[in-house]
Amino acid sequence: MCSGNCHKTVIYAGCHLSQMSIKYKTMNFSKFNEFLPTQAVLLSEESRRVYECDALSAHRVMPGCVLLPDSIEQVQAIMSYCHSNDIPVVARGAGTGLSGGAMPHAEGVLLSLAKFNKIIGIDPIQKTATVQPGVRNLAISEAVKTHGLYYAPDPSSQIACTIGGNVAENSGGVHCLKYGLTVHNIMQLKIVTIEGEILTIGSHAFDSAGYDLLALLTGSEGMLGVVVEVTVKLTPKPAFSRVLLATFDDIEKAGNAVAAIIAEGIIPAGLEMMDQAGVRAVEDFVHAGYPTDAAAILLCEMDGTQDEVETGLAEVEELLIRYGASEVRVAHNDAESDLFWAGRKAAFPAAGRVAPDYYCMDGTIPRKNIAEVLSGINALSDKYQLDVINVFHAGDGNLHPLILYDVAIPGELARTEAFGSDILKLCIAMGGTITGEHGVGIEKINEMCIQFNENELKQFHAVKAAFDAKGLLNPGKAVPTLNRCAEFGAMHVHAGKDKFPDLERY
Amino acid sequence: MNNKIKAIQALVASAIEQARPVQIVGGDSKAFLARSITGTPLEMAGYSGIVSYEPTELYITARAGTTLTEINHALTEQGQMLAFEPPHINAKTTIGGVVATGLSGPRRPYSGSVRDYVLGIRCINGLAQDLTFGGQVMKNVAGYDLSRLMTGAYGTLGIILDVSLKVMPLPEFEMTFKQAMPVAKALSIMPGLSARGLPVSASAYDGKALFIRLSGNEKVVKEACKMLGMDEYEQGQLFWNELRDYKAAIFNSDSNVWRISIPVNATLDLKNEPFFIEWGGGLYWLNSKRPAQEIFAMASAAGGSAMLFRGVNQEQDRFHPLSKGLLSLHQGLKNAFDPHGILNPGKMYATL
């Protein structure tokens, strides 16, 4: 969603187009009216404006046109037409993505799957639900609740984000360590290829014939096909769950405590960490009862039967104290559990309250390096003169530093992006990755050049070509061209001597 | 080990030059699987050893030729396991072979499959390039998920060098239960077991009796066994290991041994042929003399797929036929990784 705090466009479509070898024709998009209902074709500037960015609102492009099909046949017709006429296609769910994966193409079609919002079937014995891609993540869990089931992956935007977008990004959430990512929780996809052909990938059985295209499609960021139906795996709702809150006066102790829990053979349902800046911002906002003098807090959720949870939490409490927690509070009831979670879940809006803008990063690191990475981020914070709040899916090593800035101050956005890029490089250096769950999109395209070498990138391009030889699906996203990496590399050779850090990069 | 990698690259390079395929061999414990092919053998057994294992980071990285025995030993010492319970056919079974075939054991429906636990792969593609995808961290969405794509690709997309797998704690406590019953009753119980919130970690029906394994916290398992109302089976561990390692009677037949994966609530017409069901009703083993096309059609009609696991005739097609659209996508992918068609060509499908 383009929320109210969208700001100026910093990267124009032309910058990305310059990377592409294809020259797109100037299209007359009104042609779509010939085979689509009038209300499915948005051509006016004001109707297209809504779609010019996703939740990475710093990057905006006006789409050539916006199409809102409501049947698979219409999607096939659109794809087939775009394929014949060399028109780029960018698919979009709810637009809540944080990496610009749904940033439109100026000369292309923005394909909104918003009208695909029906639950097709629920099978409580198979523990599956078959849904259209525009169904919201949380709506699935609500629909299957009466069967004692739910859909486990719970990205923070689950109230708004759609399952199609979750598949495209391989979305995670706070319960991934125990329940897995999207890739672990889907059984079957129906996709429409760029040629307009419909393919069924995976099945309702545990194994399927051939290569694991289901895994390949998951997290492929709209580069390989358009998802038009998803069968998700459902999980029995645990009978009982409870959270504890632990306080640490030293972030390294908190990191060691996390490792100790895992070493003990405990896999919590959720294991979250927040630094002092995060705790303070959140506490001012939601009054969750977090100790504002703590260097870090840990939230640990256990689920299962009541016995199992109570035994598990007692074990975790004992461990946390042994590893230096200054205080451990176990929630007495569901309301208190919810309150502990409310603080963590309010971290992003709390950041939005303490600064005009914030930029959310998404690296993953080996857990053992948490203290080192956080001190590295603090050093960068001093270097770039920008504050940062750290929230962390500690259980699976996924770090979300929120860089606080003000876009109205000239140069601050560029400094923020450089800061973010340095954080990602730090994650790679620590043996981690530039994105744990938000995707590469347009945002981390340059850092892909650091994480992967030339041959690896070529392999990605070859895989893309097997699905989309013309490069029409979501062009310029997810995998950088080698030219782009060459330019990016050159930029970095000079980075140390650059006298103009405020210059926009291209 | 760098010399070994260079030697593998050189072998691939000369295979390209001579247009002569390479046949990748791990421990050769699953030689009966898949289509039989010819080519210069590439023995991976010498490329072995655990590269790194960090129990608190929940991952292990091992070279392809590392034996499953060595890996299981290292994990057990730390109270951990491979949660997909891979078949441990003999002492020569390698981790590379486990990942290349993508076969998971009895725990699969409840804990996930091989690919669910693959975090990263280092491989040599068909251009002799040394490539790394994924990594050792739990969450990683940078680039396409090529390490999971290679899982179960039978070496047709790349030669696996190193693989990183997520590991899980060993269950604190396990118990197996057995009760004789007709197949219809077993099939009415098996699919719904985990939806009832029971800590099930395996389920099977051998044609006479239903077997269920519960794993987890001791108190929880003992509570759950009251709900189950079945008798404890003392030989449980042996039973599951024989099933996992393809040692049960169903795997030794003078007719074809079929492995059929279908939705847990779908049914098959078994025509009085010997069968064995596991995975909560999602996996059937069948001894059948029926023609392959008939078995494939039966599996398709049930919404699943069949694989000729152990064939009387080695030359026969082994894997479920792909639709025209999917096959052409598979060929496109094969070409993307191995444009000269020298890595295990024909191992899965004649044209891949």
pLDDT at B216: 92
Domain B173-244 has CATH 3.30.70: yes
Does the pLDDT of residue A495 top 60, yes or no? Answer: no
Best of B108, B132, B138, B141 to mutate (most A CBs within 10 Å, chain A): B141
What amino acid occupies position A170?
N
Report d(CA A313, CA A275) in Å as an integer: 22
Parallel/antiparallel/unpaired status of strands A109-112 and A89-92: parallel
Question: Amino acid letter at B310?
Answer: R
Domain B2-169+330-337 listed as CATH 2.60.15.10: no
Contact (Cβ atoms closer than 8 angstroms) between residue B21 and residue B15: yes
Beta strands, E only, A267-318: 270-275, 296-304
* pLDDT higher at A24 or A398: A398
Q: Is the pLDDT of residue A490 over 90?
A: no
**pTM, entire model:** 0.94
Q: Is the pLDDT of residue A318 over 50?
A: yes
What is the pLDDT at residue A23?
A: 58
- How large a percentage of chain B has pLDDT more than 90? 92
From the candidates B12, B140, B305, B308, which should be mutated to test the interface with A, based on the most A CB atoms within 10 A?
B140
Which pair of tokens denotes residue A472? 């029409």
Provide the 3-class DSSP secondary structure of residue B52. strand
Beta bridge partners of A392: A273, A399
Spatial separation of the C-alpha atoms in residues A155 and A94, rounded to whole Å = 13
pLDDT at A19: 39
Residue A176, token pair as written in the block: 């991934």
At A133 the pLDDT is: 98
For the stretch A405-430, pLDDT in tens is: 999 999 999 999 999 999 999 999 99
Q: Is the dihedral of CA B213, B219, B222, B228 positive or negative?
A: negative
CB spacing of A199 vs B142 below 8 angstroms: no
Residue A116 has pLDDT above 90, yes or no: yes
Q: Which residue of B has its CA nearest to A147?
A: B195
> Measured between CB atoms, does B143 come within 8 Å of chain A?
yes
pLDDT at A471 over 60: yes
Residue by residue, what is the 3-state secondary structure of A62-85?
A: CCCEEECCCCHHHHHHHHHHHHHC
Q: Does B320 touch chain A (CB under 8 A)?
A: yes
Q: Which two tokens stand for residue B334?
A: 């094969």
Task: Work out the average pLDDT over A450-460.
Answer: 96
Q: Which amino acid is at A478?
A: A
pLDDT average, residue stretch A132-150? 97
- For residue A312, the SS3 value is helix
Domain segments of chain B as ranges: 2-169+330-337, 173-244, 249-310
What's the mean pLDDT in A491-502?
37
Tell me which chain A residues have a C-beta less than 8 angstroms from the C-beta of B148: 183, 212, 215-216
Contact B321 A177 (CB under 8 A): no
- With 70 as the cut, is the pLDDT of residue A503 above it? no
> Which pLDDT score, from 0 to 100, does residue A488 have?
80
The yes-or-no answer to whether B2-169+330-337 and B249-310 have a common fold is: no
What per-residue confidence (pLDDT) applies to A22?
A: 53
How do residues B106-140 score in pLDDT, each as one tens digit? 999 999 999 999 999 999 999 999 999 999 999 99
CATH number of B249-310: 3.30.70
B317 touches chain A (CB under 8 A): no
